[in-house]
Amino acid sequence: MISHVSLLLRVTGSILLLLLILTAPALTVQSAEGVYINPAAPVQQLQRLIEDLQNGEFFSYTAGKMERDIRRTLPRYFSISLFYVSLSLVFSLLAGLLTGIITAKNSSRGTAEILSFFSALPDFIIVLILQLISITMFQHFGVRLGRIAYFSMNSYFMILPFTTMIITSVTFMVRSVSNHTRTILSQDYILFAKSKGLSKNIIYRRHIIPGLCSQLHGEIHKFISIGIGTLFIVERLFNIPGITRMLFSYGFTYIFDMDVKEGFFQPNFNVALVSILSLSIIYALCYLLFSAILHIIKKAGTHA
Amino acid sequence: MHNTKTNEKTEEQEETMLMPKPSESLHQANSPHQPKRIRRILRSLISTAPFVPLLIFLFIGIFGPALAPYDWDHQENFLFNASGDIISVSPHEPSAEHVLGTDEWGYDYLTRLLYGARYTILGTLFAALFRSAAAFFIGLQRGINKGNFHRNRSSKRFNKKGLLGKYGKPLKSGKSRNSQQGFSITTAIPVFIIMYFVLFGINFNPQWSPLTMAVIQFGFLSFLGIPAVIPVFEKKTRILMNSPFIEAAEATGASTWDLIKTHLYPHMKELTLIVCLQEIISVLTVLGQLGIFYIFAGGTILTRRPPVYISKTYEWGGLIGRYRGYFNAEQSWLLFAPLGLYLIYFLSAYLASRTAELRLSKTFKESPKI
């Protein structure tokens, strides 16, 4: 009972915090007289949102001079973001698991250093370097590594965004798997299993992999967070029409009137809310997917 | 007590007596001890070498404006030859007069970058220090409470006080402690996006001065990063609190302050340094990410027609965001100069952090059993 109440409180708290973050741009107002805080702004935004829900205007928003319907445009943005995040993270999870276990015992100092460096390197720097390499390769050798920006709505797949997302997430996964495997390998029960005459293969399948999957389950949140964080940068720098692009292109617009020297904040609050909620759904779907993958690996290891 | 002191004195006297005379000492130093001493000095120099680049950047951050070849307002829209003809219209490419060229408005780029260094370098250092210090104290406090609980598991006093927390509860079967961390909607939103929403209303054409804006921005940046760092210190404190030497100190009547001063802090010095260095990298990353979304440290000037986003302070991360499409442009130095400086600063912080990390990990290394 207590856990349900606590869960309810947490979810409510998270939603309230989310609404506060989304209405934060309207909270501060700049004018010729100075900067002031409009504490009523979040409440006004929420009231407008509820009114829109009642009169059926919740799903419409303006994109330039066009009137659009979220229900029609959202699936496209959602599917592109989900495609990039899930595919790159699944690849990173599996590749990270395999590489991490192999490198746990035999990794040279150099491999560890390279992984550590790439996991620290900012995602936007990786994008810029990849774009630079692509341009240089094409100009000097005529080799086309991949498109450096998204042009067509008909083609989903772009190799450079995937490479960026894989680099940021796979380095985290390999390091994590490697560290956990090393910790498990140094445990006394492994020595006990070895002294009983169990083969390396069985020790790995029955002790190390299940233990590793349990440990990794606790790190899924961080793993997906890395993926979602990179998605914002990747969609921005490669001009990919995903959820984050929808959020930044149509969720908020800032207009500054030079004549009266006043900035106007023009929100499509419904778009911002739907975008963030969609991201949360992508997050939850990824969480379920990775939990299932880890569960299958764990069971397969134990029963094989 | 008295006897002990007397004994110590006697030992000191004996040591003094046993010490070689000056002439003997010199004689010995010239032969077998000399290489050892040189080796020791060399070793200490090598061990501090990875921190030197970061110190150089700190110097640039503090004295950047003094090192700048021109004033902040120095502007050259046109370059003339000896006969007075215009040979170049800004942006001027790198030359002997302008080592890193000028920007679109004819401002010397090196000068502007050196002025911007104050925000990039000192801002990140300030935010990293603030994050680490706040997380250290909060983590220490939480670790001490939980460490005490673990030692006094049977004590009703702690249960009544409600200090159980999630660490005190028995684990559900088959689950690790990490796996019991719950999901929250806010975990799906990265820090720089929260920063973006918070700063959106005030960052474009700000009414406040760049310094005020920077203080607000780096303040928020520090504040939002604290929760992620607290568990590092909390965990370390908890481990230390369960150590026999802490129990012994408490048994001899040491107060909490004594424990912190004499036992906990000395054991956590290296960890604090590592966390601080890692946080420099973390803050630097967020600064660059915000730059990609045109939220520049110190404020963004937004022109109306055409809409151009200009960094008020020439902070490096912001300039990368501003000129990110200039790879192939004729004015590519506008991107490569701040990008190069940003990367070198990043590498300096990374080198220092990694060195400190490796030194600490060597001490606690465990070997695999198979």
Please report which residue ranges of A30-152 form alpha helices under DSSP H.
41-55, 70-106, 109-120, 123-141
Q: How far apart are the first and last CA of chain A?
A: 39
- Which of B182, B198, B292 is nearest residue A124 as measured by Cβ atoms? B292
Q: What is the structure's pLDDT at B14?
A: 45
Q: What is the structure's pLDDT at A108?
A: 67
pLDDT > 80? residue A133: yes
Q: What angle do CA A3, A7, A9 make, to 5 degrees?
A: 115
* A258 contact B CB<8A: yes
- Which of A121, A215, A257 is nearest residue B176 as measured by Cβ atoms? A215
Question: CB neighbours of A290 closer than 8 A, spacing ≥ 6?
Answer: A89, A90, A93, A220, A223, A224
pTM beyond 0.90: the answer is no
The residue among B41 and B346 whose pLDDT is bigger is B346
Q: Quick one: pLDDT band at residue B21, thresholds 50, 70, 90?
A: very low
Digit-coded pLDDT (tens) for B93-152 = 999 989 999 999 999 999 999 999 999 999 999 999 999 999 999 999 888 886 665 555
Q: In which residue are the tokens 């928020």 written? A: B220
Chain A residue with minimum CA distance to B357:
A116
Residue B6 amino acid letter: T
- Which of B174, B183, B327 is nearest residue A132 as measured by Cβ atoms? B327
Residue A164 amino acid letter: T
Q: Considering only A214-218, B156-160, B199-203, which range has the smallest mean pLDDT?
A: B156-160
Q: Quick one: pLDDT band at residue B303, thresholds 50, 70, 90?
A: confident
Structure tokens at A193: 């299993």
Residue A55 CB burial class (10 angstroms; 0-12, 13-18, ≥19): exposed
Cβ <8 Å between B176 and A214: yes
Q: What is the structure's pLDDT at B24?
A: 45
CA distance B365 to A124: 34
The DSSP symbol for A29 reads E
Please report which residue ranges of A218-268 form alpha helices under DSSP H.
220-237, 243-246
pLDDT > 60? residue B30: no
Q: What is the structure's pLDDT at A109?
A: 72
Contact call for residues B76 and B90 (beta carbons, < 8 A): yes
Averaged pLDDT of chain B: 80
Residue A113 backbone phi and psi in degrees, to 5: -65, -40
Digit-coded pLDDT (tens) for B45-72 = 787 888 999 999 999 999 999 999 999 9
- Which of B174, B176, B197 is nearest residue A24 as measured by Cβ atoms? B197
The DSSP symbol for A256 reads E
Chain B residue with minimum CA distance to A122:
B285
Structure tokens at B309: 């986003």
* A213 contact B CB<8A: no
* A299 contact B CB<8A: no
Cβ <8 Å between B350 and A233: no
Digit-coded pLDDT (tens) for B324-369 = 989 888 899 999 999 999 999 999 999 999 888 888 877 666 565 5
CA distance B311 to A101: 46
pLDDT > 70? residue B211: yes
Please state the ipTM of this predicted complex.
0.87
